[in-house]
Amino acid sequence: MEKILVCIKRVIDYNVKIRVKPDETGVVTEGVKMSINPFDEIALEEALRIKENGDASEVIVISIGPDDSQQQLRTGLAMGADRAVLIKHDEEIEPLTVAKALSEIVEKEKPGLILMGKQAIDDDCSQTGQILAQLCSIPQATFVSQVSIEGEKATVVREIDQGLETLEIDLPAIITTDLRLNEPRYVKLPDIMKAKKKTLDIIESSEMETDFSSSIEVIAVTPPPPRESGIMVEDVDQLFAALKEKGLMS
């Protein structure tokens, strides 16, 4: 295939403790470390391995977000992607809008394979890949833990409730990746320097056909209630007595 399109999202780094804003309008992002969504980073690593195996000639990374998202795209370029595209939009958008915007890029680039993480760790929606597949009318494979490309077909192993399922899908297709697929490579300083010279195209959301207005209104964002401290019990009888006292068993 000629191109692989990898969709990445800028999220708060998974090592950062999330703090809710005092006015409950969202979470604190000022001065907070931001990174590529871990599932998307795995998708990019798989795309690079497919290219290195000779099954693709170009890897393109794309993101939708504010101007600061260039940092994550540059990281993707440093990992080995050939070029990047940023759809610049400063407001939060829902999965359906993301998929519609990405479908415009898919129509333009016509990639042989689209890779993205199975979900983003900030909203955990796990919807964008499935919606995009429907909009583009192409096959999809979700929660994938193994990928093999052979000509115009891909064989994937995906994780389901009953265990593992092996599927063969025609290309072009969309694959959403699980954590067990691979371990992303470490970005070295020389690669970071080289990434600065690679192409990063910026498209204003206002220039696209997609309507970026949101149909969802966030009323408030609140932290979960603090967990009650546990108690130590000596034996099963004390455990049953404690559960009965809390009304958890009769």
| CB burial readout 32-71, b (16+ within 10 A) else e | eeebbbbbbbbbbbbbbbbbeeebbebbbbbbbbeeebbe
pLDDT number for residue 245: 85
**What are the structure tokens assigned to 124, written together?**
């955990």
Q: Are 149 and 39 in contact (CB under 8 A)?
A: no
Domain spans of the chain, in order of start: 3-222
Please tell me the predicted confidence (pLDDT) of residue 105.
96
Residue at token pair 């009323």: 219
Which residues make Cβ contacts (< 8 Å) with residue 131, sequence separation at least 6? 95, 96, 99
Average pLDDT per 10 consecutive residues for the chain, totaling 250 residues: 95 92 89 94 97 95 96 96 96 93 96 96 93 96 95 92 93 95 93 93 95 88 86 88 84
**Would you identify the CATH topology of the domain 3-222?**
Rossmann fold (3.40.50)
pTM: 0.87
Distance CA 85, CA 51 (A): 19
**CA atoms in the 13 A half-sphere facing the CB of 10:** 26
What is the C-alpha to C-alpha distance for residues 21 and 63, in angstroms, rounded to an integer? 25
